[in-house]
Amino acid sequence: MKGGKRVLAEDASGSVRLTPEEAEDMWHLYNLVGAGDRVRGSTVRKVQRETLAGSGGSERVRLSLTVAVESVDFDAVAGTLRVRGKNVEENEHVRVGSYHTLQLEAHRQLTLLKGPGGWDAVALARVRDSCDPTSSADVAAVVLHEGLANICLITSSMTHVRQRIESNIPRKGKSALFGHDKAMRAFFEKVLAGLCAHVDFSVVKCVLVASPGFVNQEWLAFMHEEALRRDLRDIIENRDKFMLCHSSSGYKHALSEALSDPVRLSSCCCACACPTCCSERSR
Protein backbone atom coordinates (compact mmCIF):
# COMPACT_ATOMS: atom_id res chain seq x y z
CA MET A 1 0.00 0.00 0.00
CA LYS A 2 1.22 3.47 -0.78
CA GLY A 3 0.28 6.12 1.77
CA GLY A 4 -0.55 9.73 0.92
CA LYS A 5 -1.81 12.92 2.48
CA ARG A 6 -3.30 12.70 5.97
CA VAL A 7 -5.62 15.27 7.55
CA LEU A 8 -6.44 14.14 11.10
CA ALA A 9 -8.14 16.08 13.91
CA GLU A 10 -7.76 15.75 17.68
CA ASP A 11 -11.04 13.83 17.89
CA ALA A 12 -9.55 11.09 15.61
CA SER A 13 -11.65 12.14 12.62
CA GLY A 14 -10.23 13.05 9.24
CA SER A 15 -9.03 11.62 5.97
CA VAL A 16 -6.19 9.44 4.70
CA ARG A 17 -5.23 9.04 1.06
CA LEU A 18 -4.23 5.50 0.06
CA THR A 19 -3.22 3.64 -3.10
CA PRO A 20 -3.50 -0.17 -2.94
CA GLU A 21 -0.76 -1.93 -4.89
CA GLU A 22 -1.39 -5.66 -4.42
CA ALA A 23 -3.97 -8.22 -3.34
CA GLU A 24 -3.08 -8.05 0.36
CA ASP A 25 -3.76 -4.30 0.32
CA MET A 26 -7.37 -4.94 -0.64
CA TRP A 27 -7.72 -7.13 2.47
CA HIS A 28 -6.36 -4.29 4.60
CA LEU A 29 -8.87 -1.90 3.02
CA TYR A 30 -11.69 -4.34 3.71
CA ASN A 31 -10.78 -4.16 7.39
CA LEU A 32 -10.40 -0.37 7.32
CA VAL A 33 -13.60 0.66 5.52
CA GLY A 34 -16.80 0.39 7.54
CA ALA A 35 -20.42 1.52 7.42
CA GLY A 36 -20.64 5.23 8.10
CA ASP A 37 -17.26 6.02 6.57
CA ARG A 38 -16.92 7.98 3.36
CA VAL A 39 -14.83 6.90 0.42
CA ARG A 40 -13.78 9.24 -2.38
CA GLY A 41 -12.52 7.59 -5.52
CA SER A 42 -12.54 7.42 -9.29
CA THR A 43 -15.28 5.48 -11.03
CA VAL A 44 -16.89 5.00 -14.43
CA ARG A 45 -20.59 5.70 -14.86
CA LYS A 46 -22.93 5.60 -17.81
CA VAL A 47 -24.60 8.99 -18.37
CA GLN A 48 -27.33 10.09 -20.74
CA ARG A 49 -26.54 12.67 -23.43
CA GLU A 50 -29.06 14.69 -25.43
CA THR A 51 -28.14 16.47 -28.66
CA LEU A 52 -29.53 19.79 -29.88
CA ALA A 53 -31.73 17.86 -32.28
CA GLY A 54 -33.39 16.11 -29.39
CA SER A 55 -31.93 12.67 -29.99
CA GLY A 56 -30.59 10.82 -26.96
CA GLY A 57 -27.71 8.52 -26.25
CA SER A 58 -25.45 7.35 -23.47
CA GLU A 59 -21.76 7.23 -22.88
CA ARG A 60 -19.41 6.08 -20.14
CA VAL A 61 -17.48 8.80 -18.35
CA ARG A 62 -14.88 8.70 -15.59
CA LEU A 63 -15.65 10.86 -12.59
CA SER A 64 -14.82 11.26 -8.91
CA LEU A 65 -17.49 10.42 -6.34
CA THR A 66 -17.69 10.48 -2.55
CA VAL A 67 -19.86 7.69 -1.20
CA ALA A 68 -21.26 7.34 2.33
CA VAL A 69 -20.58 3.66 2.92
CA GLU A 70 -23.48 1.34 3.68
CA SER A 71 -21.99 -2.01 2.65
CA VAL A 72 -18.60 -3.45 1.70
CA ASP A 73 -18.02 -6.57 -0.40
CA PHE A 74 -14.57 -8.11 -0.82
CA ASP A 75 -13.80 -10.40 -3.77
CA ALA A 76 -10.65 -12.29 -2.79
CA VAL A 77 -10.35 -14.03 -6.17
CA ALA A 78 -10.50 -10.86 -8.27
CA GLY A 79 -8.70 -8.81 -5.62
CA THR A 80 -11.31 -6.04 -5.66
CA LEU A 81 -13.42 -4.25 -3.09
CA ARG A 82 -16.93 -2.98 -3.83
CA VAL A 83 -18.20 -0.12 -1.67
CA ARG A 84 -21.91 0.75 -1.95
CA GLY A 85 -23.61 3.84 -0.60
CA LYS A 86 -25.13 7.23 -1.38
CA ASN A 87 -23.31 9.99 -3.19
CA VAL A 88 -22.78 12.87 -0.72
CA GLU A 89 -21.10 15.50 -2.87
CA GLU A 90 -22.53 17.53 -5.74
CA ASN A 91 -21.54 16.15 -9.14
CA GLU A 92 -22.39 17.07 -12.72
CA HIS A 93 -23.56 13.56 -13.54
CA VAL A 94 -24.69 12.04 -10.24
CA ARG A 95 -27.19 13.75 -7.96
CA VAL A 96 -26.70 13.88 -4.20
CA GLY A 97 -28.45 11.00 -2.45
CA SER A 98 -28.38 8.57 -5.38
CA TYR A 99 -26.82 5.17 -4.83
CA HIS A 100 -23.56 4.17 -6.44
CA THR A 101 -21.02 1.36 -6.07
CA LEU A 102 -17.33 2.21 -6.12
CA GLN A 103 -15.07 -0.63 -7.21
CA LEU A 104 -11.69 -0.23 -5.53
CA GLU A 105 -8.79 -1.79 -7.40
CA ALA A 106 -5.02 -1.98 -7.20
CA HIS A 107 -3.15 1.13 -8.37
CA ARG A 108 -6.27 3.31 -8.13
CA GLN A 109 -6.02 6.07 -5.52
CA LEU A 110 -8.78 6.65 -2.97
CA THR A 111 -9.41 8.80 0.09
CA LEU A 112 -10.94 7.29 3.20
CA LEU A 113 -12.79 9.71 5.51
CA LYS A 114 -13.84 8.75 9.03
CA GLY A 115 -15.87 10.58 11.66
CA PRO A 116 -14.88 11.27 15.30
CA GLY A 117 -13.07 8.31 16.83
CA GLY A 118 -12.75 6.58 13.49
CA TRP A 119 -8.99 6.89 13.18
CA ASP A 120 -8.18 5.14 16.44
CA ALA A 121 -4.91 3.40 17.26
CA VAL A 122 -6.04 0.13 15.65
CA ALA A 123 -6.97 1.76 12.32
CA LEU A 124 -3.77 3.81 12.20
CA ALA A 125 -1.72 0.72 13.03
CA ARG A 126 -3.31 -1.14 10.12
CA VAL A 127 -2.48 1.74 7.78
CA ARG A 128 1.10 1.72 9.05
CA ASP A 129 1.44 -2.05 8.66
CA SER A 130 -0.04 -2.06 5.15
CA CYS A 131 2.20 0.79 4.00
CA ASP A 132 5.32 -0.68 5.60
CA PRO A 133 5.47 -4.50 5.81
CA THR A 134 8.70 -4.25 7.81
CA SER A 135 6.73 -2.94 10.77
CA SER A 136 4.97 -6.27 11.36
CA ALA A 137 6.82 -8.99 9.40
CA ASP A 138 8.54 -11.18 12.00
CA VAL A 139 10.18 -13.55 9.49
CA ALA A 140 12.75 -12.50 6.91
CA ALA A 141 14.45 -14.59 4.25
CA VAL A 142 17.50 -14.42 2.03
CA VAL A 143 17.12 -16.81 -0.89
CA LEU A 144 20.13 -16.96 -3.18
CA HIS A 145 22.32 -18.76 -5.64
CA GLU A 146 25.52 -17.61 -7.34
CA GLY A 147 24.83 -14.15 -8.78
CA LEU A 148 21.18 -13.83 -7.66
CA ALA A 149 19.59 -13.07 -4.31
CA ASN A 150 16.15 -11.99 -3.13
CA ILE A 151 15.71 -10.40 0.28
CA CYS A 152 12.17 -11.01 1.48
CA LEU A 153 9.89 -10.18 4.39
CA ILE A 154 7.20 -12.75 5.18
CA THR A 155 3.88 -11.63 6.63
CA SER A 156 0.93 -13.80 7.63
CA SER A 157 -0.44 -13.76 4.08
CA MET A 158 2.29 -12.74 1.64
CA THR A 159 6.00 -12.79 0.88
CA HIS A 160 7.30 -9.32 -0.01
CA VAL A 161 10.49 -9.01 -2.04
CA ARG A 162 12.27 -5.96 -0.63
CA GLN A 163 15.34 -6.15 -2.85
CA ARG A 164 16.55 -8.24 -5.78
CA ILE A 165 20.32 -8.41 -6.22
CA GLU A 166 22.00 -9.61 -9.40
CA SER A 167 25.72 -9.86 -10.17
CA ASN A 168 27.73 -11.33 -13.01
CA ILE A 169 29.82 -14.22 -11.61
CA PRO A 170 32.57 -15.72 -13.84
CA ARG A 171 32.51 -19.48 -14.13
CA LYS A 172 35.03 -21.43 -12.12
CA GLY A 173 38.20 -22.43 -13.93
CA LYS A 174 41.95 -22.21 -13.61
CA SER A 175 42.06 -18.87 -15.43
CA ALA A 176 38.92 -17.45 -13.82
CA LEU A 177 39.27 -18.79 -10.27
CA PHE A 178 40.50 -15.52 -8.79
CA GLY A 179 37.88 -13.55 -10.71
CA HIS A 180 35.15 -15.91 -9.49
CA ASP A 181 36.11 -15.56 -5.83
CA LYS A 182 36.41 -11.79 -6.09
CA ALA A 183 33.02 -11.52 -7.82
CA MET A 184 31.37 -13.76 -5.22
CA ARG A 185 32.78 -11.63 -2.40
CA ALA A 186 31.42 -8.47 -4.04
CA PHE A 187 28.05 -10.23 -4.51
CA PHE A 188 27.97 -11.33 -0.85
CA GLU A 189 28.72 -7.75 0.21
CA LYS A 190 25.69 -6.49 -1.73
CA VAL A 191 23.48 -9.12 -0.10
CA LEU A 192 24.75 -8.15 3.35
CA ALA A 193 24.07 -4.46 2.61
CA GLY A 194 20.54 -5.34 1.48
CA LEU A 195 19.93 -7.36 4.64
CA CYS A 196 21.05 -4.45 6.85
CA ALA A 197 18.88 -2.02 4.89
CA HIS A 198 15.64 -4.00 4.91
CA VAL A 199 15.56 -6.18 8.04
CA ASP A 200 14.61 -4.67 11.40
CA PHE A 201 16.00 -7.11 13.96
CA SER A 202 13.90 -5.56 16.74
CA VAL A 203 10.85 -6.97 14.92
CA VAL A 204 12.14 -9.97 12.98
CA LYS A 205 12.37 -13.18 15.02
CA CYS A 206 13.90 -15.44 12.38
CA VAL A 207 15.92 -15.04 9.16
CA LEU A 208 15.83 -18.00 6.78
CA VAL A 209 18.84 -18.31 4.47
CA ALA A 210 17.99 -20.61 1.58
CA SER A 211 20.03 -21.76 -1.41
CA PRO A 212 20.98 -24.80 -3.44
CA GLY A 213 24.27 -26.41 -2.43
CA PHE A 214 26.47 -24.58 0.06
CA VAL A 215 25.99 -20.98 -1.12
CA ASN A 216 23.95 -20.12 1.97
CA GLN A 217 26.67 -21.45 4.29
CA GLU A 218 29.36 -19.53 2.40
CA TRP A 219 27.36 -16.30 2.62
CA LEU A 220 26.69 -16.79 6.35
CA ALA A 221 30.38 -17.34 7.03
CA PHE A 222 31.13 -14.13 5.09
CA MET A 223 28.37 -12.26 6.97
CA HIS A 224 29.65 -13.26 10.41
CA GLU A 225 33.24 -12.45 9.43
CA GLU A 226 32.25 -9.00 8.17
CA ALA A 227 30.00 -8.35 11.18
CA LEU A 228 32.92 -8.92 13.53
CA ARG A 229 35.36 -6.94 11.41
CA ARG A 230 33.01 -3.96 11.04
CA ASP A 231 31.33 -4.33 14.44
CA LEU A 232 27.82 -4.69 13.00
CA ARG A 233 25.98 -5.00 16.30
CA ASP A 234 22.61 -5.97 14.79
CA ILE A 235 24.19 -9.01 13.14
CA ILE A 236 26.41 -9.97 16.08
CA GLU A 237 23.64 -9.71 18.67
CA ASN A 238 21.08 -11.57 16.54
CA ARG A 239 23.19 -14.34 15.01
CA ASP A 240 21.00 -16.98 16.67
CA LYS A 241 18.04 -15.80 14.57
CA PHE A 242 19.60 -17.09 11.32
CA MET A 243 18.56 -20.50 10.06
CA LEU A 244 19.79 -22.45 7.05
CA CYS A 245 17.43 -24.23 4.70
CA HIS A 246 17.57 -25.64 1.20
CA SER A 247 16.00 -24.12 -1.91
CA SER A 248 16.27 -25.09 -5.56
CA SER A 249 17.44 -21.60 -6.65
CA GLY A 250 17.69 -17.97 -5.62
CA TYR A 251 14.32 -17.00 -7.09
CA LYS A 252 11.38 -16.03 -4.89
CA HIS A 253 9.30 -19.06 -5.87
CA ALA A 254 12.07 -21.35 -4.58
CA LEU A 255 11.53 -19.91 -1.09
CA SER A 256 7.84 -20.80 -1.39
CA GLU A 257 8.88 -24.37 -2.21
CA ALA A 258 11.05 -24.54 0.91
CA LEU A 259 8.34 -23.06 3.15
CA SER A 260 5.72 -25.47 1.83
CA ASP A 261 7.90 -28.50 2.58
CA PRO A 262 7.61 -29.17 6.35
CA VAL A 263 10.21 -31.94 6.24
CA ARG A 264 12.78 -29.74 4.54
CA LEU A 265 12.02 -26.76 6.74
CA SER A 266 12.20 -28.79 9.95
CA SER A 267 15.71 -29.87 8.97
CA CYS A 268 16.92 -26.24 9.16
CA CYS A 269 19.79 -25.73 11.56
CA CYS A 270 20.98 -22.78 13.57
CA ALA A 271 23.20 -20.83 11.21
CA CYS A 272 26.07 -20.14 13.52
CA ALA A 273 28.52 -21.00 10.72
CA CYS A 274 30.59 -22.93 13.26
CA PRO A 275 31.93 -26.30 11.92
CA THR A 276 32.11 -27.74 15.45
CA CYS A 277 28.48 -26.94 16.25
CA CYS A 278 27.30 -28.22 12.88
CA SER A 279 29.20 -31.49 13.30
CA GLU A 280 27.72 -32.00 16.77
CA ARG A 281 24.18 -31.40 15.47
CA SER A 282 24.70 -33.93 12.68
CA ARG A 283 25.49 -36.78 15.11
- Report the candidate in 199, 201, 167, 162 with the shortest Cα–Cα distance to residue 185: 167
- What's the pLDDT tens digit per position in 182-193? 899 999 999 999
Residue with the larger pLDDT of the pair 67 and 22:
67
Mean pLDDT to the nearest integer, 72-89: 91
Number of structural domains in the chain: 2
Same domain membership, residue 256 and residue 167: yes
Same domain membership, residue 165 and residue 116: no
Q: Is the pLDDT of residue 18 over 60?
A: yes
Same domain membership, residue 140 and residue 85: no
Q: Is the pLDDT of residue 283 over 50?
A: no
Three-state secondary structure call for residue 269: strand
Same domain membership, residue 56 and residue 142: no
Residues in a beta bridge with 54: none
Q: Is the pLDDT of residue 280 over 50?
A: no
Residue with the larger pLDDT of the pair 79 and 172:
79
Mean pLDDT to the nearest integer, 174-203: 88
Same domain membership, residue 143 and residue 124: no
- Per-residue buried b or exposed e for 189-216, using 16+ beta carbons within 10 Å of the residue's own CB: eebbebbeebbebeebeebbbbbeeebb
- Write out the residue range of the structural domain in which residue 272 sits: 135-281
Who's near 203: CB < 8 A, 6+ residues apart? Answer: 134, 135, 136, 137, 138
pLDDT of residue 21: 86
